[in-house]
């Protein structure tokens, strides 16, 4: 049991889910504190029927903290996490800043739990939301048949862009239906009744930062730099849950029936694959859930060793908050 823990970014969309999970999963600790930006300092937050005062995110706030679960922008994580670790705090970080640091394990508990046994910088990174659900799905296929190549198209909900993204969808949709103009706060184009084939900034040879995460993070988590990934990330007018169309080529052929069995045995995966009954994963039925949902499992008609499937997961939960809390539980068991 931890003597003292902290939740950083406690008032954000992911932070509020972390609080709910810590309470419902009865995570063990003796003391807890909540940290956020100066803007939120001094406000009250309720946890386990008790009111707490949010403290400002300052280095001194970690003087007596054993474990911190943090959901902040990259620049905030860059600045505060070294201050926390200098004070003996183990940090589970949701930001993207530390993920590719070779001394920082990038962890999905169902996939590479052993990675938490070596934490030289006292930082454990949680992967990008779109990477997390894809790698959970790839893990049993890789163990069975060795994944060689992945072609993935993501259809990402506006909640992945934060509260302002959700506000843009809601207000933009209302304005469009009423024939009114709306000044978008988050997206460069209207997201209502539209799709935007760009998430993040453009980087190497025309791929965006979001797309490159699917390549580099997948390789790091699975420990295999030979895996090729061709990603396309699209923002869609869906409130919550990311969906992915995934085509995998493996060294050893995996039939649809075998794949279905592998997915069904994988921890954290639920298979919904009854096409004749029109049953497959949908954002509307997967939101609020902690699992990765897989369906539309079929063999690739253009490749001998190809397998195609559809994957949906709640990006705020397994893609963020749930994975972080699961990492904390994993470390607590060591």
Cα–Cα distance, 212 to 167 (Å, whole number): 27
Contact call for residues 126 and 327 (beta carbons, < 8 A): yes
Residue of 142, 242, 286, 311 marked catalytic: 242
Cα–Cα distance, 322 to 303 (Å, whole number): 35
- SS3 state of residue 96: coil
Q: Is 242 a catalytic residue?
A: yes
Q: Is 129 a catalytic residue?
A: yes
Q: Which pair of tokens denotes residue 196?
A: 């935007």
Question: Residue 33: what are its φ and ψ, rounded to 5°?
Answer: -135, 160
Closest CA to 12 of 48, 44, 36: 36
Cα–Cα distance, 301 to 283 (Å, whole number): 27
Residue of 129, 241, 286, 311 marked catalytic: 129
- SS3 state of residue 176: helix
Upper half-sphere CA count for residue 235 (Cβ side, 13 Å): 23
Burial code of 197-236, b = ≥16 C-beta within 10 A, e = fewer? ebbeeeeeeebbbbbbbbbbbbbbbbeeeebebebbbebb
Contact call for residues 84 and 68 (beta carbons, < 8 A): yes
Contact call for residues 115 and 83 (beta carbons, < 8 A): no
Q: Locate the DSSP E strands across 259-313.
A: 269-271, 292-299, 306-313
Cα–Cα distance, 155 to 313 (Å, whole number): 11
Instruction: Name the residues annotated as catalytic.
Output: 129, 242
């Amino acid at each position: 049991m931890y003597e003292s823990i902290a939740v950083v970014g406690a008032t954000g969309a992911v932070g509020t889910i972390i609080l709910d999970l810590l309470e419902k999963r009865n995570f063990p600790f003796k003391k807890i504190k909540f940290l956020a930006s100066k803007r939120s300092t001094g406000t009250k937050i309720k946890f386990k029927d008790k009111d707490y005062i949010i403290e400002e995110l300052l280095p001194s706030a970690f003087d007596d903290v054993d474990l911190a679960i943090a959901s902040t922008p990259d620049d905030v994580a860059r600045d505060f996490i070294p201050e926390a670790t200098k004070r003996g705090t183990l940090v589970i970080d949701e930001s993207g800043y530390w993920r590719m640091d070779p001394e920082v394990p990038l962890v999905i508990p169902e996939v590479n739990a052993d990675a938490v046994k070596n934490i030289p910088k006292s930082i454990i990174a949680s992967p990008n939301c779109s990477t997390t659900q894809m790698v959970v799905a790839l893990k049993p296929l890789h163990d069975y048949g060795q994944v060689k190549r992945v072609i993935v198209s993501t259809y990402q909900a506006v909640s992945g862009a934060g509260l302002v993204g959700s506000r843009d969808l809601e207000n933009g949709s209302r304005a469009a239906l009423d024939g009114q103009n709306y000044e978008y706060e988050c997206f460069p184009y209207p997201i209502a009744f539209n799709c935007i084939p760009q998430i993040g900034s453009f980087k190497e040879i025309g791929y965006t930062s979001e797309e490159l995460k699917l390549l580099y993070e997948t390789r790091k988590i699975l420990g295999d730099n030979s895996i090729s990934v061709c990603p396309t990330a699209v923002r869609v007018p869906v409130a919550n849950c990311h969906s992915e169309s995934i085509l995998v080529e493996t060294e050893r052929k995996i039939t649809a029936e075998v794949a279905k069995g592998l997915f069904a045995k994988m921890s954290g995966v639920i298979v919904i694959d009854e096409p004749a009954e029109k049953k497959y994963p949908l954002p509307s039925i997967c939101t609020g859930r902690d699992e990765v949902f897989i369906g539309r499992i079929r063999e690739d008609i253009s490749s001998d060793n190809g397998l195609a499937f559809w994957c949906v997961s709640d990006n705020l939960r397994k893609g963020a908050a749930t994975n972080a809390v699961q990492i904390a539980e994993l470390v607590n068991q060591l």
